[in-house]
Structure 1
Amino acid sequence: MLFSPIKPMIVTMGNEAFDDDGFIFEPKWDGWRILLHKEGSRIEAYTRSGHVVTSKFPELKEAIASIKTNTAILDCEGVCIRDGRSVFDDFSYRCRISDSAKINAALRTHPVSFIAFDVLLSSSEHLYEPLKARKERLTELISGTDVITPTVFIEERGKDLSAWSKDRDMEGIVAKRKDSKYLLGAETKDWIKIKNPKTIDTIILGYRTEPQFGIVIGLHFKTIKYKPVGIVETGFQEAEKRAFLEIARQLHTKQEKQTQWIEPKLCCRIQYLERTDHHQLLDAMFKGFLLDKDPEECYWTY
């Protein structure tokens, strides 16, 4: 298991925060899942898909001394903290760059931290120990620093932690059964993520009426404008659909299969739960048209 790719345990999606004395609750950090393998003075970082990315994070040399055991496999979230919260795009940037000069510059502009939330191995394997015991081991194994630290968690009070995460504009929380084993590559309801809905103002780039009504939404990014980021099919009232179609007919440009593209002059607010690495917004819901919004102002919020 040491220094070989491992498929981490998968978190399933939940709906609402809850209280339960059989669970612990952690903040959901917004970064990349990273498994750290350490033996002696050697440390390696693996992504959830098994790629070795150690060379991208010179900070890991500092982390070695903070792991107080000769051998360890730690399940972590790699993050970049900005203004008190983790920023997904900052960490993705660190994962994209390979040039040594850019990496050295990013040590200052995009410093990385590894938030450890589980231990799979130290002097022996811990996969079949209850989570609560693994949490206790984790606290003993790591001396917290800016580079690596155990995640905070509370017992029973998931609703309180959810409210705390919303106040800080964080991604959400994760609920985990205290007695759960670590099941490699498995997805079970022992680990549940409850994400905070986010809203964003988008440009309407097109629409379709078959197989059901939906609008194509887009955003501006630093390197590209009017990038499609999803299709929204829920949240519309019939009157809103009719009003939109009446206006959209005057803005038609080209038709491609089921999509009618329009001039990018209309904006709307949507709510979403997740986004992919390529900024496609998932579980998106229409919240309202923005008649006075300038499409030039609809940028991805980095």
Structure 2
Amino acid sequence: MTLPVNPPVRPMLAKSVKGVPAPDSVDGGLVYEPKWDGFRAIVFRDGEDVEIASRSTKPLTRYFPEIVATVRAQLPERCVVDGEIVIDIDGRLDFDALSQRIHPADSRVRMLAEQTPARLVAFDLLALGDESLMAEPFSVRRERLVAALGNAEDPVHVTRVTDDAAEAEQWFEQFEGAGLDGVVAKPLAEPYAPNGRVMLKVKHARTADVVVAGYRLHKTSTASRPLLGSLLLGLYAGDGRLQHVGVAASFSERRRAELVEELAPLVVAEGEPHPWAEWRDESAHAGGRLPGGQSRWSGTKDLSFIPLRPDRVAEVGYEHMEGVGDSARFRHTAQFKRWRPDREPASCTYEQLEEVARYDLGDVLL
């Protein structure tokens, strides 16, 4: 490729803030966009050559052949676009379906591309023709993006924006029902800053009481100094099963050592029953929902865990759930808040979770 902006390029990032900031809270003003929940992607096109790079600059090109085809069909012949690759099912973003694309078999990738095709949501333009736009303010880059992709058709979309904080608040509440993550506020006067946290993001914050039924050791753990890496969390489904819903991590080294000692009396001995005992059976890992199971993300990483009697309840913070009903789980790593000795494990059910009103993704996309 001989573009004015060539890979690798790390995308511009955002830092978390509480509440939608006022549009005049930064010099030059802010505009707001929906925060998409997909794979961040920088798309490079130079004629027939197309490359799609992830947030970490790793190649995504082979996993989304339908996006490659639509880039050749709809994007300017020479351009660099920053955006998000998403998949939606029944009018809602589906991250599980998206993650299934990261598969070594080309035949499976192409089958999924036909069954659950992806969309490209564009929100920035880094280069067009022989011109780099990286040094231009976002206000200019946005105008150029709309002009370049204004006639694009599904599955290419230019994300909507607003300069009205009240409308952004409305998006924050409504669009979660379509699977979106929150709202991003972008400074109009700023140039593109690769890997810089220049933008502001507002995400949903909630808490839940969960059962702690195991833990994984930290990668720096040793036999002489065991350190806890993450707590394995569960919620009881309607049929009485303890469903694995995610992990809580991010402890200090001192706290990791303390937690190993604190949880030692709850460790399940070999042969004792445990709600996730089937993790020992390799054939059970195929479903990808067991705490000891491998995934396309973990590869050969050891995900074995120390099973605990499900007797302790913790309060954790989370942003939103992935999935529906009694199969939902935390979309991101949960944040440990405190132990809840006043709560019975049996009371930690899905019923405590806030139910978000459904919202059709078609009403979000332009």
TM-score, scaled relative to structure 1 = 0.73
Q: CA deviation at 1:196?
A: 1.1
Off by >6 Å, runs of 4+ in structure 1: 294-298
Relative distance call for 1:167 and 1:110 in structure 2 (3 A) is closer
Paired position in structure 2 for 1:129: 136
Paired position in structure 2 for 1:263: 309
Q: Is the 8 A contact 1:274 1:282 kept in 2?
A: no
Paired position in structure 2 for 1:73: 80
Paired position in structure 1 for 2:296: none
Question: Structure 1 vs Structure 2: percent identity of aligned residues?
Answer: 23
1:159 aligns with 2:169: yes
Q: Is the 8 A contact 2:246 2:334 kept in 1?
A: no
- The correspondence for 1:172, drawn from 166, 173, 182, is 182
Relative distance call for 1:271 and 1:141 in structure 2 (3 A) is same
- The correspondence for 1:11, drawn from 2, 14, 17, is 14
Relative distance call for 1:185 and 1:216 in structure 2 (3 A) is closer
1:108 aligns with 2:123: no
Q: CA deviation at 1:156?
A: 2.9
Paired position in structure 2 for 1:230: 248
- The correspondence for 2:41, drawn from 21, 25, 34, is 34
Paired position in structure 2 for 1:120: 126
Q: Deviations over 1:182-216 (max 9, x none)?
A: 1122223xx11111125566431259xxxxxxx93
Q: CA deviation at 1:218?
A: 1.9
Letter in 2 for 1:112: A
Letter in 2 for 1:46: A
Question: How far, CA to CA, are the matches of 2:264 and 2:82 in structure 1?
Answer: 52
**Further displaced range: 108-117 or 25-34:** 108-117
Question: How far, CA to CA, are the matches of 2:30 and 2:191 in structure 1?
Answer: 13
Question: How far, CA to CA, are the matches of 2:38 and 2:6 in structure 1?
Answer: 22
Question: How far, CA to CA, are the matches of 2:69 and 2:335 in structure 1?
Answer: 39
Paired position in structure 2 for 1:147: 155
- Aligned Cα RMSD in Å? 3.6
Q: Is the 8 A contact 1:202 1:269 kept in 2?
A: yes
Question: How far, CA to CA, are the matches of 2:152 and 2:194 in structure 1?
Answer: 26
Letter in 2 for 1:62: T
Q: Deviations over 1:101-127 (max 9, x none)?
A: 211221233321111100000021111
- The correspondence for 2:23, drawn from 20, 23, 26, is 20
3-state DSSP of counterpart to 1:37 = strand
Paired position in structure 1 for 2:268: 253
Question: How far, CA to CA, are the matches of 1:135 and 1:109 in structure 2?
Answer: 32
Paired position in structure 1 for 2:192: 182
1:195 aligns with 2:203: yes
- The correspondence for 1:281, drawn from 333, 338, 351, is 333
Q: Deviations over 1:245-266 (max 9, x none)?
A: 9xx9985536xxxx99631255
Paired position in structure 1 for 2:318: 272
Question: How far, CA to CA, are the matches of 1:86 and 1:294 in structure 2?
Answer: 27
Relative distance call for 1:139 and 1:108 in structure 2 (3 A) is same
Question: How far, CA to CA, are the matches of 1:156 and 1:295 in structure 2?
Answer: 38
- In structure 1, the gaps of 5 or more residues are 208-214, 234-244
Q: CA deviation at 1:134?
A: 1.0
